Structure 1
Amino acid sequence: MTPIRFAVALAAGIALPLSAASADEGMWTFDAFPSAKVKAAYGFAPDQAWLDRVRLSSLRLTGGCSSSLVSGQGLVLTNHHCVRDCAQQISTGTADYIAGGFLAATLADERKCAGQQAEIVTAITDTTARVQKAIGTLTGAALAKARDGEVAAIEKEGCTDPATERCQVVTLFGGGQYKLYHYRKYTDVRLVYAPEADAAFFGGDPDNFNFPRYDLDAAFLRLYENGKPVATPAHLTWAARAPKEGELVFITGNPGSTQRLLTQAQMAFQRDVSLPALELYLSEMRGRLISAMAGDPEKTRTGQDLLFGIENSYKARYGQWQALLDPGFAGKLAQTEAELRAKVAADPATAQKIGDPWTDLAKLMVGYRDIYKPYNWLELRAGGFSDLYGDARAIVRAAQERAKPNAERLPEYQDSKLALLEKQLTDDKPVYPWLEEISIAYWLSKTREALTTDAPPVKALLGKESPEQVAHRLVTGTKLGDPKVRAALFSGGLAAVQASDDPLIRYVLAHDGDARAIKDRYRFEIEAPVTAAQSKLATARFAAFGTDLYPDATFTLRLSYGAVKGWTYQGVTVKPTTVFAGMYERATGADPFKLPPKVLAAEGRIDKTKVVDFTSDNDIIGGNSGSPILDAKGAVIGAVFDGNIHSLGGNFGFDGTLNRSVSVSTVAVEEALTKIYPAPRLLAELHAK
């Protein structure tokens, strides 16, 4: 399960979280976990000590994934696809660690992952009253500035040691709640183990979002500090045992984003505007990459990680789009909104307090449609998939914003964000010029197509050059591929940036004004009033259904509960587990059902009756990739890596009869570390020997 998830239309059985959650639904915050509900359903409820241990063992990775501590020496379990970028970074033309896998024989062999940061939640504080007081009755630009300024102050006050702490105020229920998440962060994260991509993603795109699965989608990282592994006395127990059908299991992680609380008008905007535009954007870029990589081994090696992400994102957004186009699914979404509106209408006090936020949001979506194209192409998609362009814009904007008081900056450049931004800008990472050129040229060509040749921003971006000529000039002329150059510009601030003769820096300085102008329009004319309206909707939900609700996912720590189980759909029953025998039976020797040589060679040694992957009805979404799946004792029995095809409408609603998470079992990981990729050092650490 990568950071962006695929969603499909479900015509029946959707339970939406406008009322108290039912069945095993919910991505619950740790400070509001419904232990009593779990006790009523399963006869067991995690106590505070259990919750605290699990929270302190759960990590958020800045690449958009989750993970967990599984030893006292900082060993971290996550998914293979969560470390693909790291494996790509350390690969060379003679050592491809995505194709061939990676295993560090000793601590000295563990390799640092550029740009990666791991974060553990140490405290959650409710700051709703303070933020809402700062907002008061303000609207538009005044609201956005007051909110962002107060958030900046809270985050700065909350963390006094930027070297080890990170503070983040999280918006929940669309503005109904604001909570300060305090993190202990680790900036030195190293790769320990990752199998070959053909083993981790066996079945490839055809099997993606489906089940049965036979994927060894697990990897290990390690936390370091001052050049040494971090001592982590709070960690989870490794339990290499098969899951039991029907047993209670928990998933702790950082689900990225759900949109279950959107109104009909907001969902219509996605259905009619944003999702179709994104699908066209991704599909054409996919085609350009495949064409460029065909017959070129080096481009295939260096482009495979980006292609993997684009293909996954394309399927994710296509499924979401189809979900909103499905009459049955859309009808249930409309019904839940109608039920909430009826409850508000029947409560005069609430109705008077909130007014009509549904109509407010409908009007705002009309306005958003008017500015979406320039906002999308000049701001959201600027530079396309180019790392160099992204770095240049971040350096320029950071310099401009740091010249302002902290409370007046764009949120992404406030003091609480700068340490991570600097790390991501200055860590050494490979740059592939051909990818940079194709990315920038594609963005410019699509911007011209969407905004028209005569649009002033397009004329400014291209001048008398073609998109390809601009991209070639910028990529071949820039020195931003050198981390020392990026570091000098970042530390030098506005003076260094304005004095730079780097063509990419000069290009951003010359043209980013149009992007910033449309960004401000979005922040002040759309985002701020949407926040105000959604805050009123939160008030309506609390009044109608009480506080036994969970907020939409925000890539912050959540806990879900459920049971190991399969499902039945259209008369077909799917069992909740797969075994190694099925993996070898599925292998054809051709992509994407090609097993790596080491896996094939181990066939005679593998116990083919052991479980590889399994399903449970936990509520998850993208960002849960790498999340540990725990038994009632809090022991790790697997790592979540995907959802089944029915779960993928989870962006908008949860169906407990069909939605399933998909995990790789600890049994499979241990079998692999014993018989395919012998790793006695890791096994001894996992078992605390």
Structure 2
Amino acid sequence: MKKIILSFIAALLLVPTSVKADEGMWFLMFIERLNHRDMQKMGLQLTAEEIYSINNHSLKDAIVQFNGGCTAEIISKDGLVLTNHHCGYDAIAELSSEEQNYLKNGFWAKNRKDEMKPSSLYVRFFVRMDDVSKRILSKVNDSMTEAEREKAINQEIAAIEKENNEGGKYTVSVRSFFQGNEYYYFVYQDYKDVRLVGTPPESLGKFGGDTDNWEWPRHTADFSMFRVYADKNGNPADYSPENVPLQPKHYLPVNIGGVKENDYAMILGYPGRTNRWMPAGGIEQNVKFAYPAWVEGAKVGMDNMKKYMNQSDALNLKYASKFASTANYWKNRQGMIDALTKFGTAKSKAAQEAKFNKWANKPANKAKYGNVIADINNYYALTNEKSRHDNYMQQLFRTTSFGTVSRGLGRYMDAYVKGDANKRAQMAPAIEEMAEEMFKELHIPAEKDLMAAQLNTYATKATGYAIAPMVKKIGDENNNDFTKYVNAAFDLSIFTSVDRIKAFLALPSKELLENDPLYALSNDMLTHYSSKSDEIAAAQDKYSAAFRKLVEGLRESKIGTIKYPDANSTLRLTYGKVRALPADKRNDAKINNYTTLDGQVKKYKKGDAEFDLPVKVLEMNKNKEYGRYADKDGSLHVNFLTDNDITGGNSGSPVLNGKGELIGLAFDGNIEAMAGDVIFDKNLQRTINVDIRYVLWVIENFSGAKNIVDEMTLTK
């Protein structure tokens, strides 16, 4: 891998310097003022009003946040939704069974009646946004403590949200930007009746698995399809057979003409989080303390899940979603460590901060900014070991079902114990349902191994900061072998079967609950995790103020060059071009900005969990059965590259041409640019996209679901 990266960097020197990626995750309401002219020069043919309009339909009306963590787009007049396969993964797994394994075999609804409703899935439409910075910041002053400041801001936020929700019709969210220096409110409308329309088999939707994740060249059909339903008047409604497909304000036409180098490419979506303003100390903390613990803890969880997933399809289904999520971030965080270290990002940030500190300590600036860098650096010095500790504990919580049981099911059982007869009667059915849902996604032998292994890792590796008292006591008594304790705890706990939980509800006991070994252990760990010393609390208070002032000062002094706020799961636009990476012998394409079905077949390994392919794909490729989706060069293009600025949360985002037509679906980035959440690299940054022609080929030609393609508006 090291040799590949070195040759990759050397080849970059041959790329013309006039070609650059366009950094930025931009607010739609500012496109006209900040970006529109530049976008037009690059190939945009739409007006700013056609992208974002409050009074008329526009592109923003076709973009939805998918289930809170991804992006999706409406691609038909009947509410058809396209997103990534990995975004629909939970819903597909939930609807699957051993007998009808849609995750493994794929699924395509032949008609509307065949479309399936998962238990919990929603899409969020963006209605409008506005700037409320002056209003909110008028409620605070420099004499306030951070706690007082936060209280005043939260009170004003609550008022703004209430004023704009129209009696509960809309969801309103006020978010801070530029580290609390600006505030905007966002109005959304949520639709909760969302049904599965289709998904390719996992061998296509996850082709390449963890090996190819974050890598280029890619050959993945990372897409799935859903439909939004509404009541007969087009309003959000709970699931009902009487609901009808939503008639959206706008949907995206689909362009099957293909893409080529330097074509304009625009992405709208909900990027989750970037940290482009992060101080040097924070980058150093992540690279040396937080992320290594995350990576190691995640690997422990993955290894113990995989041991059971390999035993049967049923167990694989139980843990597929949790494993995929853990594996995704495991590789991401290792890539971040490598990229941030390699590019010396902390060092370059420190140089910027030294320049800022010199400006901050000039007489005119000293009173406000003089202590900013010192307060920031002091906070990180105090919390480096805690961040390592917290990340080991977080992976225990993320990969085991019982690490947080006291705050999940246990919290409701505690309220049940304390309630009177009427309250208990009301709560019992909900608790039973919660327990039944919980046990659908776990296997007790696996949970025992996960818990014991993660406790050992936490107790032996988080040594620079005091570990949870109960974990330390158990570890000291058992030489940090937690197997015996965990087995005994599971044997005694009321939380380890639905029947035990129902028995407790029949004869509730406060003492029994509080002394339950898994409940007590979970409480101990969660309490310890959220606690902090007075020294750290004081340093954190100063840090919050200092970070806000750092961003304000960097913008004021012009030392900072970033013109847009960090991503925070609000709708953003990024624009760039289709752009190749230097030639790569692993890719059979004529130019290294796309991959082909031939290339996918070359990766094929019969029976391999990551690189197996349906026999039909092999046969269709051999016979060149590409239909109307073949490129002009005669091949079927699978994935392609653009230089857009995206991050997690953009998964499923539409890639649009200059006319606002759908040309692809964003699903990943390249590992060489994993530092992108912290610092944008115009040479390395790439977005990996599914070519929309490959999406349609899988639906129509491979799967025979032409009825779904016929819903769409296809153009060339």
Whether TM-score is above 0.5 comes out as yes
Q: How does 1:420-431 map to 2 (within 5 A)?
A: 430-431=440-441
C-alpha offsets along residues 332-357 of structure 1, whole Å, 9 cap, x if unaligned?
A: 343444454456567x5455433332
User: Would the aligned equivalents of 1:124 and 1:182 in 2 still touch at CA under 8 Å?
Assistant: yes
Q: State the distance in 2 between where 1:294 and 1:194 align.
A: 23
Find the residue that maps to 1:32 and give its secondary structure: helix
**Structure 1 residues 466 and 11: CA distance shift in structure 2, 3 A:** farther
What's the % identity of the aligned pairs?
Answer: 26
2:28 counterpart residue number: 30
User: CA shift at 1:252, angstroms?
Assistant: 0.7
Q: Which runs of no fewer than 5 residues in structure 2 stay unpaired? A: 13-19, 231-236, 416-429, 479-483
User: CA shift at 1:107, angstroms?
Assistant: 1.4
User: CA shift at 1:145, angstroms?
Assistant: 4.0
User: Would the aligned equivalents of 2:80 and 2:226 in 1 still touch at CA under 8 Å?
Assistant: yes
Find the residue that maps to 1:282 and give its secondary structure: helix
1:555 counterpart residue number: 569
Q: Of residues 620, 631, 640 in structure 2, which corresponds to 1:602? A: 620
Q: Which amino acid aligns with 2:376?
A: L
Q: Is 1:518 aligned with 2:531?
A: yes
User: CA shift at 1:329, angstroms?
Assistant: 4.3
User: Would the aligned equivalents of 1:30 and 1:558 in 2 still touch at CA under 8 Å?
Assistant: yes
Find the residue that maps to 1:581 and give its secondary structure: helix
Larger CA deviation: 642-651 vs 468-477: 468-477
C-alpha offsets along residues 210-233 of structure 1, whole Å, 9 cap, x if unaligned?
A: 222221111111112343222213
Q: State the distance in 2 between where 1:509 and 1:267 align.
A: 30
1:493 counterpart residue number: none
Q: State the distance in 2 between where 1:481 and 1:274 align.
A: 38
Q: Is 1:638 aligned with 2:664?
A: yes
Larger CA deviation: 333-342 vs 203-212: 333-342
User: CA shift at 1:311, angstroms?
Assistant: 2.0
2:397 counterpart residue number: 383
1:238 counterpart residue number: 254
User: CA shift at 1:520, angstroms?
Assistant: 9.6
C-alpha offsets along residues 554-590 of structure 1, whole Å, 9 cap, x if unaligned?
A: 1221100001110227999952122223223332324
**Structure 1 residues 382 and 522: CA distance shift in structure 2, 3 A:** farther
Q: State the distance in 2 between where 1:497 and 1:509 align.
A: 18
User: Would the aligned equivalents of 1:242 and 1:610 in 2 still touch at CA under 8 Å?
Assistant: no
Structure having greater relative contact order (Cα 8 Å, sep ≥ 6): 1
Q: State the distance in 2 between where 1:144 and 1:353 align.
A: 19
User: Would the aligned equivalents of 1:393 and 1:508 in 2 still touch at CA under 8 Å?
Assistant: no
**Structure 1 residues 461 and 193: CA distance shift in structure 2, 3 A:** farther
1:79 counterpart residue number: 84
TM-score normalized by structure 2?
A: 0.79
2:299 counterpart residue number: 283
Q: State the distance in 1 between where 2:275 and 2:224 align.
A: 30
Q: Is 1:593 aligned with 2:611?
A: yes
C-alpha offsets along residues 482-524 of structure 1, whole Å, 9 cap, x if unaligned?
A: 9x999x99xxxxxx99799696995489547724751797995
Larger CA deviation: 504-513 vs 588-597: 504-513
Find the residue that maps to 1:112 and give its secondary structure: coil
User: Would the aligned equivalents of 1:143 and 1:528 in 2 still touch at CA under 8 Å?
Assistant: no
TM-score normalized by structure 1?
A: 0.82
Q: Is 1:532 aligned with 2:558?
A: no
Q: Of residues 477, 482, 488 in structure 2, which corresponds to 1:469? A: 488
**Structure 1 residues 97 and 570: CA distance shift in structure 2, 3 A:** closer
Q: Is 1:625 aligned with 2:643?
A: no
User: CA shift at 1:627, angstroms?
Assistant: 0.4
**Structure 1 residues 574 and 13: CA distance shift in structure 2, 3 A:** closer
Q: Which runs of no fewer than 5 residues in structure 1 stay unpaired? A: 1-6, 15-21, 402-420, 490-495
Q: Is 1:356 aligned with 2:375?
A: no
Q: State the distance in 1 between where 2:206 and 2:272 align.
A: 21
Find the residue that maps to 1:319 and give its secondary structure: helix
Q: Is 1:61 aligned with 2:61?
A: no
Find the residue that maps to 2:531 and give its secondary structure: helix
Q: State the distance in 1 between where 2:8 and 2:284 align.
A: 17
Query: Whose Rg is larger?
Result: 2
1:584 counterpart residue number: 601
2:335 counterpart residue number: 319
User: Would the aligned equivalents of 1:644 and 1:662 in 2 still touch at CA under 8 Å?
Assistant: yes
Find the residue that maps to 2:650 and give its secondary structure: coil
Q: State the distance in 1 between where 2:412 and 2:571 align.
A: 28
User: Would the aligned equivalents of 1:173 and 1:534 in 2 still touch at CA under 8 Å?
Assistant: no
C-alpha offsets along residues 397-416 of structure 1, whole Å, 9 cap, x if unaligned?
A: 69999xxxxxxxxxxxxxxx
User: CA shift at 1:153, angstroms?
Assistant: 4.2
User: Would the aligned equivalents of 2:436 and 2:498 in 1 still touch at CA under 8 Å?
Assistant: no
Q: State the distance in 2 between where 1:61 and 1:148 align.
A: 27
**Structure 1 residues 260 and 513: CA distance shift in structure 2, 3 A:** closer
User: Would the aligned equivalents of 2:81 and 2:225 in 1 still touch at CA under 8 Å?
Assistant: yes
User: Would the aligned equivalents of 1:242 and 1:667 in 2 still touch at CA under 8 Å?
Assistant: yes
User: Would the aligned equivalents of 1:564 and 1:576 in 2 still touch at CA under 8 Å?
Assistant: yes
Larger CA deviation: 674-683 vs 30-39: 30-39
Find the residue that maps to 1:383 and give its secondary structure: helix
**Structure 1 residues 431 and 212: CA distance shift in structure 2, 3 A:** closer
**Structure 1 residues 653 and 510: CA distance shift in structure 2, 3 A:** closer
User: CA shift at 1:371, angstroms?
Assistant: 4.1
